[in-house]
Amino acid sequence: MPLLEVDDLSISFGGIQALAEVDFQVENGEILSVIGPNGSGKTTMFNCISGVYRPDEGLIRFREKSLLGLSPDSIAHRGVARTFQNLRLFLHMTVVDNLLLGRHIKFHKNLIHALLRLRREEIRHREVVEEIIDFLDLQAYRQTRVSDCPYGVQKRVEMGRALAMEPHLLLLDEPISGLTSEEKEETAYRINEIRGRYKTSILLVEHDLRIASRLADRMIALDYGKKIAEGSPEEVQRTPEVIKAYLGED
């Protein structure tokens, strides 16, 4: 059974068809890249999966259960975490507090149970967060307010916060855009690491074709809200429609 199944997904805003009958699947443990020019519907698709938008038509099934109609916080509880292209961090809080917020869904719902296990749980949460701090090389910024961190660091915090949720599926929206080329390489390396370390499948929206194809097991391409290609990165990049969408005609 695939981890995520998207079937016949359509949504329009006013007269604009943002997504039209898109279907794809994410298998357990795989990295699937979604490529496409600006405005092709990549972020809209993320917003449908994470519950920000309600699609007009289609199915989204995650671990064999439908996600349609669920609020973003219940979808997070099902094990889907995401990052935002334009970063949505808690700017007035420290880096550590941002990461600890990622642990929020792991807190026990049952209050009495939580009180009994408080210390043990707290230790476990701190451990997970410390591991992420090491993994993302954030030691120097631990107690810094996020608003005072450089962009590259904020980008890492955004990813770290999603990782802290220990999701089954991680949606990364342009994780390397706006970074220096050195940072890009580091981030690409880390994304590849995440899969092994956190046993997470990744759906990756990326503009940078070179890095997207290097990381991906499989790839799909969108243009004007339609899926125009699917397959291995090499196959997708050889598809005439993809070449046309990226380079224009002639």
Partner 1 sequence: MANFWQYVISGLATGATYALVALGLALIYRSSRILHFAHGDITTAGTFVAFTLLGLKLHYMVAFFLALLFGAVLAMSFYFCVLIPAQRREASQLGQIILTLGLGLILQGLVAYFGGTETQSFPFPLSDFKTYQIGEVVISQLSLGTFGIGVLACLLFYLLVQKTRIGLAMRATSENLPAAQTMGIPTRQILALSWGLAALLGVLAGIFLAPALLLDPFFMLEPFLKGFAAAILGGLNSLPGAIVGGLILGVAESLAGGYVSIAFKNTFAFLIIILVLLVRPEGLLGKEFKERV
Binding site for partner 1 (CB under 8 A): 50, 52, 71-73, 76-77, 81-82, 84, 88-93, 97, 100-102, 104-105, 107, 161, 165
Least separation in angstroms between residue 84's CB and partner 1 is 8
60 touches 48 (CB < 8 A):
yes
d(CA 13, CA 56): 10
Least separation in angstroms between residue 177's CB and partner 1 is 18
3-state SS string for 111-158? HHHHHHHHHHHHHHHHHHHHHHHHHCCCHHHCCCEHHHCCHHHHHHHH
Q: Which residues contact 193 (CB under 8 A, 6 or more apart)?
A: 135
Residue whose CB is less far from partner 1, 109 or 248: 109
Closest CA relative to residue 35, chosen from 250, 166, 211: 211
Least separation in angstroms between residue 92's CB and partner 1 is 6
Residue whose CB is less far from partner 1, 71 or 232: 71
Residue whose CB is less far from partner 1, 104 or 199: 104
Closest CA relative to residue 81, chosen from 97, 107, 114, 104: 104
142 touches 151 (CB < 8 A):
no
Q: For 17, how many CA atoms within 13 A lie in the half-sphere containing its CB?
A: 13
Least separation in angstroms between residue 96's CB and partner 1 is 11
Residue whose CB is less far from partner 1, 16 or 91: 91
Residue whose CB is less far from partner 1, 91 or 243: 91
Residue whose CB is less far from partner 1, 9 or 80: 80
Least separation in angstroms between residue 90's CB and partner 1 is 5
Q: Which amino acid, residue 148? A: D
Least separation in angstroms between residue 91's CB and partner 1 is 7
